[in-house]
Structure 1
Amino acid sequence: MDDRRVVIVDYICDYPNRESGSPEELIRRKDAVWEQRMQELARSYNREQAEVSCFDGIFYPSVEERFRLEHVPQADSRFLLSSERITLSLMQTLADRNKLGPKNSLLVSVGTAQTDILSKYALMGVEGEDFRHAVKLIDPLGYLKLLQPGCTPAVQLISEASTSGISSMYSAYAKIRKGEFDTALTGGASAVTFPVPYELSQFGTGAERYTEPFEEGASGRYFSEGGAVFLLKERELALADGDVILAEIRDISAGSMGNPVVNRTAVKKLVSRSLEKAGVSPEAELFLELYGRGNEIDDTAEFSCLKALQKSYRNMRGGFLKEDIHYIVGYYGLTGVCRLLDARRTHSKLPGREISRPNAYIGTIGGEQWSSSPGDFGLFASVLYSMHGNCYSLLLQLEEAGAWSGGGAGR
């Protein structure tokens, strides 16, 4: 049954500056934000967090206020990690606004950072009556029992640092293709639940990290909280349910670069294999979104990889859609996809980033390599990397407005 087709019918994405649009303001207020978060942790766990200091990052002023869980008793919700609260809220939002019921064969596939599991044991030093509530949530999958999707799902957790989000989607996609499930909620979130005085997943070393990737002087991104969740369905079921199909997943391929630094040869082979598996013509018009780690070594390797791919796919153009979105562990690579789907759903034009001052190693970037108009393309590929050296290629066929079935999810 591997010929079953998998589509995206809904999604949700969030990060601290999604509405404000000002990461600079959140960085400026980080000490005050940190203090408020410490007070929330102290109230939840009845213990002060001693000797922990703020590091530069884009934090939510309050996870509890932004992600309210009305259906979860406070006695339980107070013991949720911040990332768990965000994940539950995003998933519940998708479940509530879509057709999920007893007839759905549902998989909940969550990607999470390894540090969350450590946080469980570090934070839950509780006793007495509190222990009775806390013990239910010590299991890394325990919090998913609080999700109310309208049916009884199978649940799985994939812990793989920088690519945990695409790893969970990869698993869900494969299982729907094989006929094991017909629907999947996949994704999750990253947050500073257990603050430490340094960045566990450092994504930049410069004092100034607002410079966009591929530009001269880029020194990485600031750590950011946030997450993304997608609702996947088998295509015929989505059509029968009257869902709006935003995109079809033509392929997800996985590989290894051998080390954390971008290996242009390994990535080229991975993307080429993905396009070949999906039967993409060498003449196809294709937009390739680069990851954009924001340092000269990786950015140059990515751009070199793009030019190598264009020798076989001459109508391929590169681009970058994650402007102003800082590094969300596990979900940074998927935020460009979310922005693309935002534009598709609202019938608006999504401007891609223009590179005004490429770093010296890249040299020049012209129209034959780069496009700032991703909406002009029907095929969208995205590359994603892990600090462990794992890499993925996600290939989407964007649905034309006339192909939408109308009604249903995401409206």
Structure 2
Amino acid sequence: MDLQGPSMAVDTGCSSSLVAVHLACQSLQNQESNLCLVGGVNLILSPEPTIAFSQARMMSADGRCKTFDASADGYVRGEGCAVVVLKRLSNALHDGDRILAIIRGSAVNQDGQSNGITAPNSLSQQAVIRQALKNAQVQPAQISYIEAHGTGTSLGDPIEVNARAGAFNAILVARWGNGGSIC
């Protein structure tokens, strides 16, 4: 295929695919690339990680993930693979490509100190949401989809939901005053 330009593997745990999309968008914006193939894959090649996650009580006891549900008790491991093709919008329009979505902006940060992988840092999550909205130059009301970590635990899920509500509420209050909130 004679592919050229940046090529790298990204392993950030649960966010690897989204970080890879972020890096590809930056490559397009910086004109390092004209087209990016971004792939993500998860394969379960040995039993040791599953055993360790089970012993740490991170896995759902009944094998069903109940993310954002009151009965959430852990997640379920799975395998999968996906690839997306990214181009600058102007190039895709010029080439007559079928456009399925537009990425207006993204952001990446580190959780910092937290209570572990199943308990995200609410303030860090709020900060990355605010930065992504700023980078995208969009208003909170324009958001139609949010990718969530969804730990599937009674500890982590409420932290994540409250972080989302806190980020969007803080943006709305800063812009329109303390007239209401969204949750």
**Unaligned segments of structure 2, at least 5 residues:** 173-181
| Structure 2 residue 19 is the aligned partner of structure 1 residue 167 | yes
Q: 2:149 is matched with which residue?
A: 291
- The one-letter code of the counterpart of 2:11 is S
- Counterpart position of 1:249: 103
CA contact under 8 A between 1:209 and 1:219: conserved in structure 2? Answer: no
CA gap 1:286/1:188 in 2 versus in 1, 3 angstroms: closer
Q: Secondary structure at the match of 2:69?
A: coil
Which residue in the other structure is 1:279 paired with? Answer: 137
Structure in which a larger fraction of residues adopt helix: 2
Displacement of 1:271: 0.5
Matched-pair contact (CA < 8 Å) for 2:43–2:79: yes
Q: 1:280 to 1:269 in 2, by over 3 A?
A: same
Report the CA distance shift for 1:192/1:164 in structure 2 as closer, same or farther (over 3 A): same
2:169 match: secondary structure: coil
In the other structure, the counterpart of 2:9 is 157
Unaligned runs of 5+ in 1: 1-149, 315-367, 370-411
Identity within the alignment, % = 22
What's the Cα RMSD here?
Answer: 2.3
Equivalent in 93, 105, 112 of residue 239 of structure 1? 93
- Whichever structure has more strand as a proportion of its residues is 1
2:124 counterpart residue number: 266
- Whether contact under 8 Å (1:218, 1:296) holds in the other structure is yes
Quick one: structure 1 residues 278 and 200, their matched pair in 2 at CA, closer, same or farther if it must change by over 3 Å?
Answer: farther
Indicate if the aligned counterparts of 1:209 and 1:218 stay in contact, CA closer than 8 A.
no
> Residues 319-334 of structure 1: matches in 2 within 5 Å?
none
Q: 2:165 aligns to what? A: 307
Secondary structure at 2:17 match in 1: helix
Partner of 1:216: 70
Change (3 A) 1:288 1:188: closer
**Partner in structure 1 of residue 178 of structure 2:** none
**Contact 2:151-2:157 at 8 Å conserved across structures:** yes
Greater Rg, structure 1 or structure 2?
1
Deviations 1:282-341 (A, max 9, x none): 5x3323533311101111101211221232455xxxxxxxxxxxxxxxxxxxxxxxxxxx
Other-structure match for 1:225: 79
- Compute the TM-score of the two structures, normalised by the length of structure 2: 0.78
Contact 2:130 2:171 in 1 (8 A): no
Which of 11, 31, 40 is the equivalent residue of 1:188? 40
CA–CA distance in structure 2, aligned partners of residues 214 and 191 of structure 1: 25
**Separation in 1 of the partners of 2:48 and 2:123?**
37
Q: 1:208 & 1:191 partners in 2: Cα distance?
A: 21
1:336 corresponds to: none
* One-letter amino acid of the structure 2 residue matched with residue 162 of structure 1: C
**Residues in 1 aligned to 2:51 and 2:16: alpha-carbon distance in whole angstroms:** 15
How much has 1:254 moved relative to structure 2?
0.9
TM-score, normalising length: structure 1: 0.37
- On the 8 A contact 1:212/1:218 being kept in 2, the answer is yes
| Alpha-carbon distance, 1:179 to partner | 0.6
8 Å Cα contact 1:202-1:223 kept in structure 2? no
Letter aligned with residue 47 of structure 2: V
Residue by residue over 1:33-56, the C-alpha shift from the partner in whole angstroms, topping out at 9 and shown as x without a partner, is xxxxxxxxxxxxxxxxxxxxxxxx
- Report if the CA contact (8 A) 1:186-1:230 is conserved: yes
CA change 1:240–1:263 in 2 (3 A) is: same
CA deviation digits over 1:114-162, x for unaligned, max 9?
A: xxxxxxxxxxxxxxxxxxxxxxxxxxxxxxxxxxxx4433432223322
Give deviations 1:92-133, integer Å, cap 9, x for gaps: xxxxxxxxxxxxxxxxxxxxxxxxxxxxxxxxxxxxxxxxxx
How far apart are 1:215 and its partner, in Å? 1.1
